[in-house]
A and B are shown apart, each in its own frame.
Chain A
Amino acid sequence: MQTRLALALVALLCLCSTVSLAVDRNNFKKCDQSSFCARNRNLEPGNSHFTVVSSSVAFKDGQLTADILNTRDNVVLTLQVSGIANSIFRVKVNEKAPRKPRYEVKDVLLELRETPLEQDAAAAQGANVITIRQGKHAAVLTLAPFRLDVVTDDRVIVTLNGRGLMNFEHLRDRTENEQAGAWEETFKTWTDSKPNGPESIGLDISFPGVKHVFGIPEHASPTALKPTKGDGISSDPYRLFNLDVFEYELDNPMALYGSIPFMVAHAATHSTGVFWMNAAETWIDVSNAQGPVGQDATGTLGRLANLVKSGLKSDSSEPRVDTHWISEAGIIDLFILTGPRVPSIFRQYSQLTGVPALPPMFSIAYHQCRWNYNDEDDVANVDAGFDANDIPYDVLWLDIEHTDGKKYLTWDAKKFPDSKRMQDRLASKGHKMVTIVDPHIKREANYWVHSEAEEQGLYVKKADGTSDYEGWCWPGSSSWIDFLRPSNRNWWSDLFSEDRYVGSTKNLFIWNDMNEPSVFNGPEITITKDAIHHGGWENRHVHNQYGFYQQMATADGLSRRTGYTERPFVLTRAFFAGSQRYGAIWTGDNTATWDHLIYSTKMLLTMNLAGLPFAGADVGGFFGNPDAELLTRWYQVGAFQPFFRGHAHIDTKRREPWLFGEAVMTNIRTAIRARYSFLPYWYTLFHNAAVKGMPIMRPLWMEYPSDESTFAMDDQFLVGRDILVKPVTSAGATTVNVYFPGDQPWYNVETGTRHSAPATQTIPAPLERLPVFQRGGSIVPRKMRVRRSTALMTADPFTLYVALDQSKSASGTLYLDDGHSFSYTEGAYLFRQFTFANQVLTSTAGVTGGVASRPDLHKTSEWVERVVVYGYRSQPTSVTFQEGKEAPRSLNFVFDAALSQLTIKKPGVNIAHDWTITIA
Chain B
Amino acid sequence: MHRRSSSSSAVTLSLAAAVMMLAVMMIVLCADAASTQAKVIRGAAPASRPLYRAAAKSGSFTCVDGSKTIPFAAINDDYCDCPDGSDEPGTSACPRGSFYCPNKRFVPTVLPSSRVNDGVCDCCDGTDELGRKESDCDNTCEEAGESLRLENEQKLLSHQQGMRVRFEHIKRGLTARKERTAKLRELKATLATEKAEDERLKAIKDEADALEKPAKEAHINAWNAVKEARRLEREAKKAEEDAAAAAAAAPEAASGEPTATEPAVDEKPEVKAEPEEPMPPFPEDVQALIDAANRAQTEWAALHDRATATEREVNALDAKLNTDLGPEQEFFVLQDECFSFKTNEYQYEVCPFVSAKQKQNDRATSLGSWTGWSGSGNKYSQMKFENGEKCWNGPNRSATVNLKCGDKNALISVAEPSKCEYVLEFTSPAACDPNFKLEQVEDDIEGHDEL
Contacts and interface: CB of A to CB of B under 8 A. Distances in A.
A30 interface: no
Nearest to B133: A861
B119 A906 contact: no
Nearest to B116: A785
Contacts of A794: 119
Contacts of B133: 861
Nearest to B14: A380
A415 B1 contact: yes
A414 B415 CA distance: 14
A792 B119 CA distance: 7
A397 to B, nearest CB: 16
A795 interface: yes
B21 A425 contact: yes
A795 B132 CA distance: 9
A865 B79 contact: yes
Interface string A367-391: 0000000110110000000000010
B77 A906 contact: yes
Given A865-B79, A866-B79, A429 B95 contact: no
A652 B1 CA distance: 20
Interface string A852-864: 0000000001000
Contacts of B24: 428
A788 interface: yes
Contacts of A673: 95
A4 B391 CA distance: 13
Contacts of A377: 1-3, 415
Interface centre among B114, B119, B393, B416 (most CB of A within 10 A): B114
Nearest to B91: A785
Interface in A337-382: 374-375, 377-378
A796 interface: yes
A890 B133 CA distance: 26
Interface stretch (B245-253, B310-318, B353-361, B417-425): B417-425
Interface in A474-531: none
B92 interface: yes
Contact of A375 (B2, B393, B421): B2
Contacts of A628: none
B79 A429 contact: no
B270 to A, nearest CB: 63
Interface in A25-54: none
Nearest to B92: A785
Contact of A654 (B114, B392, B417): B417
Nearest to A3: B393
B78 interface: yes
Given A785-B93, A786-B95, A866-B79, A428 B120 contact: yes
Given A377-B2, A428-B120, A784-B95, A654 B418 contact: yes
Contacts of B394: 651
A796 B117 CA distance: 9
A606 to B, nearest CB: 32
B112 interface: yes
A653 B421 contact: yes
Given A378-B415, A652-B418, A792 B95 contact: no
A665 interface: no
B418 A390 contact: no
B113 interface: yes
A134 B23 CA distance: 65
A370 to B, nearest CB: 9
B435 interface: no
Interface in B358-404: 391-394
A377 B344 CA distance: 17
Contact of B120 (A4, A429, A651, A652): A429
A452 B344 CA distance: 31
Nearest to A648: B418
Interface residues of B, number: 32
Interface string B331-351: 000000000000010000000
B1 A651 contact: no
A374 B417 CA distance: 7
A897 to B, nearest CB: 17
Contacts of B115: 788
Contact of B393 (A4, A390, A788): A4
B433 interface: no
A787 interface: yes
B36 to A, nearest CB: 24
A656 to B, nearest CB: 9
A698 to B, nearest CB: 30
A229 interface: no
Given A377-B2, A865-B79, A651 B393 contact: yes
Given A377-B2, A428-B120, A792-B119, A390 B415 contact: no
A795 B418 CA distance: 38
B186 interface: no
Contacts of B416: 374
Interface string B32-65: 0000000000000000000000000000000000
A650 interface: yes
A313 interface: no
A786 B79 contact: no
A673 to B, nearest CB: 8
A788 B118 contact: yes
Contacts of A194: none
B112 A786 contact: yes
Interface centre among A392, A652, A787, A866 (most CB of B within 10 A): A787
Contacts of A769: none
A428 B21 contact: yes
B111 to A, nearest CB: 10
Contacts of A795: 117, 119, 132
A808 interface: no
Contacts of B418: 652-654
Contacts of A392: 114
Contacts of A792: 118-120
Given A653-B418, A654-B417, A795-B132, A865 B93 contact: yes
A905 interface: yes
Given A425-B21, A785-B95, A906-B79, A651 B118 contact: no
Contacts of B132: 795
B114 A785 contact: yes
B98 to A, nearest CB: 10
A754 B443 CA distance: 56
A389 to B, nearest CB: 10
Interface string B401-418: 000000000000001111
A549 B391 CA distance: 39
A652 B391 CA distance: 12
A788 B114 CA distance: 7
Nearest to A863: B78
A535 B417 CA distance: 47
Nearest to A792: B118
Contacts of B3: 377
B140 to A, nearest CB: 14
Contacts of B78: 865, 906
Given A377-B3, A786-B113, A796 B92 contact: yes
19 contacts: A374-B416, A375-B1, A377-B3, A377-B415, A414-B1, A425-B21, A430-B120, A650-B419, A652-B418, A653-B421, A654-B418, A785-B93, A786-B113, A787-B114, A788-B114, A795-B117, A861-B133, A865-B78, A906-B79
Interface of A: 4, 8, 374-375, 377-378, 390, 392, 414-415, 425, 428-430, 650-654, 673, 784-788, 792-796, 861, 865-866, 905-906
Sort A-B residue pairs by CB-CB distance and give the 8 closest, nearest first. Answer: A792-B118, A786-B114, A654-B418, A653-B418, A390-B112, A651-B419, A906-B79, A786-B95
Given A414-B1, A651-B394, A788-B114, 10 more contacts: A4-B392, A377-B3, A425-B21, A428-B24, A651-B393, A651-B419, A653-B421, A786-B112, A795-B132, A906-B78
Interface of B: 1-3, 21, 24, 77-79, 92-93, 95, 112-115, 117-120, 132-133, 344, 391-394, 415-419, 421
